[in-house]
Amino acid sequence: MSDEEARQSGGSSQAGAVTVSDVQELMRRKEEIEAQIKANYDMLESQKGIGMNEPLVDCEGYPRSDVDLYQVRTARHNIICLQNDHKAVMKQVEEALHQLHARDKEKQARDMAEAHKEAMSRKLGQSESQGPPQAFAKVNSISPGSPASIAGLQADDEIVEFGSVNTQNFQSLHNIGSVVQHSEGKPLNVTVIRRGEKHQLRLVPTRWAGKGLLGCNIIPLQR
């Protein structure tokens, strides 16, 4: 392809991009044509309402003398030409509106795709920034046969959730003690990290042969 052909190709693609102002110009042209058609019909009406199809000769075949034949012929010719122009403009308006609508749908689809991509990226970033759950306490020791041992707790388990207590609201071991006292005989969800893996357990604080309701020693972790 020569440079000249490339320029022409680029120019034609730019020319094909319809804008709102293009549609407005077409609508202005349409209204202008309609006004001209009306003016020509008004002229025919002023010639004794002769219209588009009435004969221009009298009953004897002579040109009518009661109308301006030149003006009537000119008006009829103008109306036919203007009606053809009107059809052409209406087709251009329809095509332009179709292009604008299609482009709006494409833009909407792109915007939705970008918004979804941004949301997923933000969600991924939050997940990465949060990282694995942080433990706030550690099981120091377990008494054999205790409720904690029966639940599956092991020494060195790092606690990230103990009932309603978690990393965000943990302040001291009194938080865990309060949950235990109010949950005697009721199952508690306990989440621990054991050798890098997360485990979810069900612990039921219960009176047993040993001391307390759990039978384990829990210590807070430094944060």
Residue 95 is assigned to a structural domain of this protein: yes
Give the structural domain span for 179. Answer: 137-220
Question: What's the number of domains the chain is made of?
Answer: 2
Whole-angstrom distance, CA of residue 53 vs CA of residue 101: 41
Residue 25 shares a structural domain with residue 118: yes
Domain end (from 77, 100, 128):
128
Q: Which residues contact 34 (CB under 8 A, 6 or more apart)?
A: 86
Percent of the chain at pLDDT exceeding 70: 89
- Count of C-beta atoms within a 10 Å radius of residue 92: 17
What average pLDDT does the segment 57-65 reach? 89
Q: Tell me: the pLDDT tens digits for 124-157?
A: 766 555 556 789 999 999 999 999 999 999 999 9
Residue 110 is assigned to a structural domain of this protein: yes
Per DSSP, what are the bridge partners of residue 199? 192
Residue 120 shares a structural domain with residue 164: no
Residue 26 shares a structural domain with residue 104: yes
pLDDT band at 30 (very low <50, low <70, confident <90, very high): very high
- pTM here is 0.44
Residue 78 shares a structural domain with residue 100: yes
Residue 62 shares a structural domain with residue 124: yes
What average pLDDT does the segment 85-108 reach? 91
Given a cut of 50, whether residue 1 has pLDDT beyond it is no
Residue 75 shares a structural domain with residue 163: no
Residue 118 shares a structural domain with residue 155: no
Domain end (from 128, 158, 186):
128
- Asked if residues 37 and 86 have their Cβ atoms less than 8 Å apart, the reply is yes
Q: Which residues contact 136 (CB under 8 A, 6 or more apart)?
A: 159, 160, 165, 166, 167, 170, 220, 221, 223
